[in-house]
Structure 1
Amino acid sequence: MALLFGILLLLGLCGNIISENTSEALDYELPTSKYETEDTYSPGPISVLFQMVRIFIYIVQPGDFPEDSIRKLIRNKFEVSTVYDEIAHYEIGVILCVILGVLFIILLPVVGCIFAICRCCNKCGGKMHQRPKENAPFQRRCLAISLLVICVLVSIGIIYGFAANHHVRHRIRKSQKLIDSNLKDLRTLVNEAPQQIDYIVDQFNTTKEKAFLDLDNIHSLLGGGILERLKPKVIPVLDEIQVMAKAIKETKVALENMNQNFKSLRDGSQQLSNSLSAVKQNMQNSLQGPECLLPQVSDICKNIESSLSQLEGNPELSKGYQSFNDIPKRVQVQTTNIVAEIKKLLNTVGSNVKDATKDIPIQKSLSEFNSHMDEIEKEIKQKLHRAEEVDSYWWLCSLISCFLLLLIVIFFYLGLLCGVYGYDKHTTPTTRGFVSNTGGIFLMVGVGFCFLFCWIVMILVVLSFVPGVNMEKLICEPYANGKIFQILDTPYLLNKEWKYYISGMVLKKPDIELTFEQIYSDCKNNRGIYSTLQLENRFNISESLDIHKHTDNINNQLERLDIKLGGIVLLNEEGKNNLKEFSNSGIDNIDYDTLLAQSKTSPGKVNLLSFSYDLDTKADRLPPGQLKQSMKSEAQTIRKIHQDQVLPMEKTQVDVQKNIKILQRTSGGLKEKVSKILQSLDSVQVFITNDISSVIVEETKKFAKKILRYFEHYLEWVELAVTEKMVPCKPVATAMDSAFKVILCGFIVDPLNLFWFGIGKATFLLLPALIIAVKLAKHYRRMESEDVYEDFAVSGTWHFTL
């Protein structure tokens, strides 16, 4: 079993490998290879026949796997005499079958010789004479049907033989491809190990780069963390101060605007008063003229004069924000040296990791295994070539035996065919036809071949039966249920000085419980070879690449982060004084309702536009002349005064109203607001001065924990990858299954058992077929003589003639 030797060699070489750990940063996926060999095997529809043969084997040999006997045999260095009784008891069914086969082999040619001699002496049915019997037709039919049924059963057995022979021939040719795929998978397994180790080591650089990135961004991560912790306390106060500052600004602008508006209103009122006075004077002069003395216009002039009386005029926060927002920048400046030292330390750790990987002798061990693999492959090819040659001889012998039996059955079929269809019940034995006689001859030829070849075929059956049954019961079945591993795992069995053989071979520590069964089960589940072989007892990968001794140094460097954020002033004394002066300015004591009501008063006593239109109406009632023309001119002047002076004053009044409302809004509860803001400001300033150090410590610890967590997470991944995923040994279990379950049991043992089962059944069934054929041939062959009965005149007398 060169392939099995290669598997065990791989396990042994694993004991010489010393591995190492690396680090990990985020999420990684260990690269794995795809294997060619399928881990399942199905023989196809012929498996039903294999199962039928196993049932027969269980009937022949129903005993359980003789674990104790095999252990005793191994301990006594395979001296059969020490377990002869146990072997005989276990093999009793096989022995009985072999005895029957040997008796068949011995007796059949002897009986054949005796039968031939007897026939030559006209005995044993050799005399061509037949006595007529009343039940002859019934006897003939029963013999024919019995022979037909037996021939059908024999034919089925021969078909089993042909199927088994073809299966062996077909599968053996595929063995080379299966072996090549297994060897390729084992090479892939070997080549996969250094790639996976390099991948694990390389991930330390990824982890380190991630840590470097966080260290470079310490201003946003650590400084930003401190900033976020302070924001809930500082920002609301600063926002209130900002709102108050905005209110102060709006108040100042509103006051300045009101001042401008009041000045503009004073100037406008004076100008309006002067303009209206001039118009009034002109109109009075015109009304005192001689034209108003006329009776028809005197009333109009008085009316205009009476209305002239209406033409008269009517009487440092941004610095607080900057100081607070400068925290991340100050953090970065104060941590520059510490960050550089941490990076230097991480680079040193990376160098140590790379140096440690160079000490792993895995390449040498794997190269040694590869050289053995070449030798194993060469040896397998040589043995496979020999196996193909042996298979050719076996195939030829099996084919000849199947054809010999088939020839016998064909003669029986031809005998039955010719005998049945050529038989004429109206003919006498001496007058039977040619076809019937030929049928009888075919049956006797078949009988002759039975005596000539069946004992030879039985030799082949016995020679295949003994190893076939024992390999099924002692190798295939215990391999399938795992009992063969339990035998190998028996303490001190394979080596009297080692409690567990595989642990002594791989780990050099035979007291560690490492068993074949556990290795096979773990490899079937595709576990890593490190965990499967318990290599932590041979070399500890975690200790070889132990980064914990460096994490303490990293943690110490991070704890040295001493950040000072003193001098943060949200609002200086000057700003506080400004707020106090603003609250004490008395702006909140102004009677804004009175001001607002006064600002809504019209600039004049009357609406000048209406007055001018009324003056025009009255002027139109005057007779043409200088007076009418004068009134018309003054009306136009009044409208111009309204347009140029009254309307701008009204617009200014609207602006005054807006500013009054602004002042009214900003001055409401001014003292209370300012007092509350100053209290909150003092509270926050005390917190920043006294308690900011605790915030810095907490955020520094969070930042350090985040950096260290990268490496802790990496180590957790390394431990999982190395122990469970690195170099999964499923190809080892697959190779073992290919060697035992597929090639040995599936390609050789199962077809071998099916062959002897089918051919053996056919050969044994030919014994009754032989006897029946001899008897049946008598009914079909043409006889040389027969019995004739004739009646005479004298009653009670008869004469017999030949």
Structure 2
Amino acid sequence: MALFESMRGWRWQGSAGAFRAGVGVMLLGLSLAQSLPHDAACPAAAAPLSLTQPHYQDTAEEDTIVGFMSALVQSFLHTVQPNPFPKDLILDIAEDVDQTQQLDQELLKKVLIYRVGYLVCVAIGVVYIVLMPLVGFFLACCRCCGNCGGKMYQKQTSSTDCRRRTLYWSAFVTTVIILAGNICMFRSNEAFKQSVDGGVVELNKTIKNVNTFLTAVPQQVNFVVDESYKTVQEVSRNLDAIGPQLGAEIQEKFRGPLNPALRSVRLLDRETVNMDMELKKLNSSLVQLQSSVDRLQANVTVVKNRINQTLSKPTCSNCDRMKSELRKLTLDTSISIPSLNELQSAVDDVIRTDLQSKIKEVEDYFNGIPQRVTNDTKDVAENSKQRLDEIRTQIAQVTKDIPLSALTNASKTLEQVQEEIVKVTPQIKRAEHIRWGVCVVLCCVVLLVVVCYILGLVLGPVGLSPTKDPTKRSCTADCGGTFLMIGAGFSFLFSWLFMIVVVLLFLLGGSVYDLLCQPWNNGQLLELLDTPGLIPELEIGPALGLKSNISIPDIYRDCEENQPLWTTLRLYEVINLDDLLNVSKYTDEIRLYFDNTDITLSTITLLSPDVKKQLSSFSTSTKDFDSTAVTQQINNVSSINLNTTADQLDRLAEAQTNNDIRLELQTEAMDLRQIQSDIQTVITPQLESINSTVKDLQSFVQEINGTVGEVLSNVEAAQDFLNTNTTQIVETESRKFVDCQMGYFVVYADWANLTITQQVGRCGPVAGAVDSVDIIVCSHMVESLNAFWFSLGWCIIFFIPGIIFSIKLAKYYRRMKYSDVYDNHIIMNHIPRAQMKFT
């Protein structure tokens, strides 16, 4: 009997081009798979790690200490320069310079008109620079000649105290204002120093962040590609295991109908073996019983003959009636069970079919399905592996299409800039230290003027006695007046020099704020830089090969929102990522290819008709088995009782007068009892054992009847299932396997598309770098610089009223040479006495 027919191999049909395209795209889908809910037929592909964003250092933030005067200074600069940012004028200047290498008169006039506020301020500064030393010189000369308050005489009137107090508080307020400006000078100077020192560090951080970003973008793109390479290796292993994977699924579908059939056949084989053992045990027991019965029958025959001889003796009285009973004394019993032999024959026939070997044959075939799949797909797997290199090349095309070289070049440039910054940092710090020292000197000179005023305002009132003659004022009051004059003198001496510093710093700081910082903050500077043709290197659209130009403000806004480079630089105009990762153009071709693939498994014959016929006959034999015949014969043997005959012999012996006859009858009765005892000790256990075996055998017979029916039913159902569904199962599982691979491709395409378009190159650090430079240059350095010159200008402007009030107030504290007394509205002038000359 043949359990299986030969299995035909898988026949792969279709053209060679279709094969390469189908297998190539299928493996690409596998290699690019991230994760997919799939059946057991889908091997677990290596899932790509989630894309991690680089770590950036914290950059500079707004400092309230640095910008404590920004609102006041900016308000002043907006008043000086209310005009909007001159974008058109700058473009005209750039175009004119490119063409003529100089400005024409018309543009120069426009520039002067635009800067008229600064020109007015510079003119005021120049007038201050020119007039202040001249006024100071003429005032000094005039006072030396006794004019302009130079004469040491003070007229006393009723309003003298009121004027003194008025001048005092005016000078005091002016001094406080100058002191406040001087404090702002010290503070802004220190803030500028901190801005320069911290600016170098923050600038390095900013460059590092941009460099980190530029380095991370190629790494992120390569990450997407490298993750697919790791999966390609996994795909190679999956191809080696394609037999076990697909074969296991086919096995799983076959397992449902085959397992009940095999389980029932195993049960039938086990029950048949057990029944055979019980039958053999029963036959052996019957043989042994027959032997024991024959032996005891021989003993009974011997005793019976002896009894018969004793009863035949003439001296035996009343013995004739015993002869009729003696004829009943026999153990001649033979056990014959024809149905048992028929059952044994049927069992032997089933055992000869060797169901166990048939079961093993089915299991070997069932377990060999994966190996058959492996053998049949060996060439396909090898050819598929050869396509992996081409797949890697196709995936690597993403890195070629994205202009990563420009980022690499920019990163190298930034590294060079950072190296140059490191080189010049010591010179910057040295120059900043010198600047800081010069500004401290300027602050200290202004502070010196303030100190002189304060000493004058303190010593003058302390030493002044209003009722005293002006010529008799105390030294303390006189020193107070002298300090006021010194303060005024220092103001004349240094104010015009300070104004030069103010004008220069005003032009520098104010221009930087108006032309750089303010348009930088409101975006006008970026719009200027985005003007076509102004800076050809900044035309990003043509540089990237875009169909349309891309504006720098748009890039900045996108980077502020931390958008990816895909949308920020409009790379979708250069790279057709959807087409590169599109799987729909391959899906129909692959499905058609596998639909045309003929994958068949031969029909499996579980049990041949002869075996089924033998099992049916076996079931009939078990039904014909009659255990009652065995039981009846066993009961016939167990019903023998020789003690009855022995008791009769004893009674007969007691009636005898002949002692010899009596003794012989008693002896023969004892022999019968001995034989009966042997029956109890030998025959009875054997009968019990046989009876138990018969009961077990009867139980097996009943079970086998049901098992044979279950075997025939399950085998028939399994056979029908396999005959009708084997081809469909193979086709369905193969299609599921292909769909699974397509699912991998679809998932990767979505993941790669999402990663490249939404994760790769989030340019927030670029906008952060621009903002950081703005904070370093404008919010820190420029605002500190503007605060310094504004504070210095504030001080020297108030030097003028300070000079006026201090000079006028000094006469109320200094000791006069000529006295003037006011009493009851009568002014008494001390007439100088005549001096006599002695010769």
CA distance in 1, matches of 2:137, 2:382: 106
- Look up the match of 1:343: 385
- Look up the match of 1:771: 804
- Write the deviation string for residues 377-400 of structure 1: whole angstroms up to 9, x where unpaired: 677678778766764664454333
- Write the deviation string for residues 535-559 of structure 1: whole angstroms up to 9, x where unpaired: 5545668989999999999888877
Work out whether 1:576 is the aligned partner of 2:612.
Answer: yes
Would you say the 8 A contact 1:416–1:439 is kept in 2?
yes
Deviation at 1:321, TM superposition (A): 3.6
Question: Where in structure 2 are the equivalents of 1:45-444 lying within 5 Å?
Answer: 45-50=65-70, 53-54=73-74, 57=77, 98=122, 100-133=124-157, 140-141=164-165, 143-180=167-204, 202-260=226-284, 316=355, 317-318=358-359, 319-350=361-392, 391=432, 394-424=435-465, 427-444=468-485
Work out whether 1:695 is the aligned partner of 2:729.
Answer: yes
CA distance in 2, matches of 1:269, 1:90: 145
Change (3 A) 1:753 1:489: same
- Write the deviation string for residues 134-170 of structure 1: whole angstroms up to 9, x where unpaired: 5655655555455444433322322222232233334
Work out whether 1:752 is the aligned partner of 2:785.
Answer: yes
- Write the deviation string for residues 231-286 of structure 1: whole angstroms up to 9, x where unpaired: 33443344344444444444444555455555556666777888899999999999
Change (3 A) 1:358 1:58: closer
CA distance in 1, matches of 2:193, 2:137: 37
Q: Which amino acid aligns with 1:152?
A: V
Q: Which amino acid aligns with 2:695?
A: Q
Change (3 A) 1:36 1:671: closer
* Matched residue count: 737
Deviation at 1:602, TM superposition (A): 11
TM-score (norm 1): 0.73
Would you say the 8 A contact 2:133–2:496 is kept in 1?
yes
Would you say the 8 A contact 2:57–2:209 is kept in 1?
yes
Deviation at 1:752, TM superposition (A): 0.9
Would you say the 8 A contact 1:71–1:493 is kept in 2?
no
Deviation at 1:472, TM superposition (A): 2.5
- Look up the match of 1:476: 517
CA distance in 1, matches of 2:62, 2:70: 12
- Look up the match of 1:761: 794
Q: Percent identity?
A: 27
- Look up the match of 1:656: 694
Change (3 A) 1:264 1:790: same
Would you say the 8 A contact 1:192–1:727 is kept in 2?
yes
Would you say the 8 A contact 2:48–2:228 is kept in 1?
no
Q: Which amino acid aligns with 1:584?
A: T
CA distance in 2, matches of 1:101, 1:347: 77
Change (3 A) 1:686 1:564: closer
Work out whether 1:514 is the aligned partner of 2:550.
Answer: yes
Deviation at 1:187, TM superposition (A): 5.8
- Look up the match of 2:720: 683
Would you say the 8 A contact 1:314–1:603 is kept in 2?
no
CA distance in 2, matches of 1:33, 1:755: 42
Question: Where in structure 2 are the equivalents of 1:530-545 lying within 5 Å?
Answer: 532-535=568-571, 537=573
Q: Which amino acid aligns with 1:494?
A: L
Change (3 A) 1:702 1:266: same
- Write the deviation string for residues 81-128 of structure 1: whole angstroms up to 9, x where unpaired: 768898788767656655654554444444434543443344443333
CA distance in 2, matches of 1:138, 1:569: 135
CA distance in 1, matches of 2:636, 2:457: 144
Deviation at 1:441, TM superposition (A): 0.8
Would you say the 8 A contact 1:602–1:650 is kept in 2?
no
Change (3 A) 1:439 1:636: farther
Deviation at 1:527, TM superposition (A): 5.7
Change (3 A) 1:654 1:763: farther
Would you say the 8 A contact 2:634–2:687 is kept in 1?
no
CA distance in 2, matches of 1:583, 1:113: 145
Q: Which amino acid aligns with 1:770?
A: I
Change (3 A) 1:283 1:646: farther
CA distance in 1, matches of 2:149, 2:291: 165
CA distance in 2, matches of 1:593, 1:156: 133
Change (3 A) 1:663 1:426: farther
CA distance in 2, matches of 1:607, 1:102: 163
Change (3 A) 1:109 1:606: farther
CA distance in 1, matches of 2:141, 2:719: 136
Would you say the 8 A contact 1:330–1:565 is kept in 2?
no
- Look up the match of 1:13: none
Question: Where in structure 2 are the equivalents of 1:690-729 lying within 5 Å?
Answer: 691-707=725-741, 710=744, 719=753
Change (3 A) 1:507 1:637: same
Question: Where in structure 2 are the equivalents of 1:723-742 lying within 5 Å?
Answer: 732-733=766-767, 735-738=769-772, 740-742=773-775
> Tell me, what secondary structure is at the counterpart of 1:788?
strand
- Write the deviation string for residues 750-778 of structure 1: whole angstroms up to 9, x where unpaired: 21112123222223333333333234323
CA distance in 2, matches of 1:790, 1:48: 54
CA distance in 2, matches of 1:145, 1:628: 170
- Look up the match of 2:4: none
- Look up the match of 2:352: none
> Tell me, what secondary structure is at the counterpart of 1:129?
coil
Would you say the 8 A contact 1:314–1:602 is kept in 2?
no
CA distance in 1, matches of 2:163, 2:633: 149
Change (3 A) 1:591 1:656: closer
Deviation at 1:222, TM superposition (A): 1.3
Deviation at 1:703, TM superposition (A): 2.5
- Write the deviation string for residues 53-85 of structure 1: whole angstroms up to 9, x where unpaired: 445555665666566666676677696976889
CA distance in 1, matches of 2:435, 2:784: 12
CA distance in 2, matches of 1:607, 1:86: 156
Where do 5+ consecutive residues of structure 1 fail to align? 1-20, 287-292, 294-304, 616-625
Where do 5+ consecutive residues of structure 2 fail to align? 1-27, 34-45, 311-316, 318-324, 336-354, 651-662, 832-839
Q: Which amino acid aligns with 2:609?
A: E
CA distance in 2, matches of 1:709, 1:206: 18
Deviation at 1:665, TM superposition (A): 4.0
TM-score (norm 2): 0.71
- Write the deviation string for residues 461-502 of structure 1: whole angstroms up to 9, x where unpaired: 232223323422432233234332233335x4638xx9x962
> Tell me, what secondary structure is at the counterpart of 1:585?
helix
Deviation at 1:201, TM superposition (A): 5.2
- Look up the match of 1:28: 48
What CA RMSD, in Å, does the superposition of the two structures yield over aligned residues?
Answer: 5.4
Deviation at 1:561, TM superposition (A): 5.6
Q: Which amino acid aligns with 2:452?
A: F
CA distance in 2, matches of 1:89, 1:270: 151
Would you say the 8 A contact 1:353–1:545 is kept in 2?
no
> Tell me, what secondary structure is at the counterpart of 2:458?
helix
- Look up the match of 1:788: 821
- Look up the match of 1:298: none
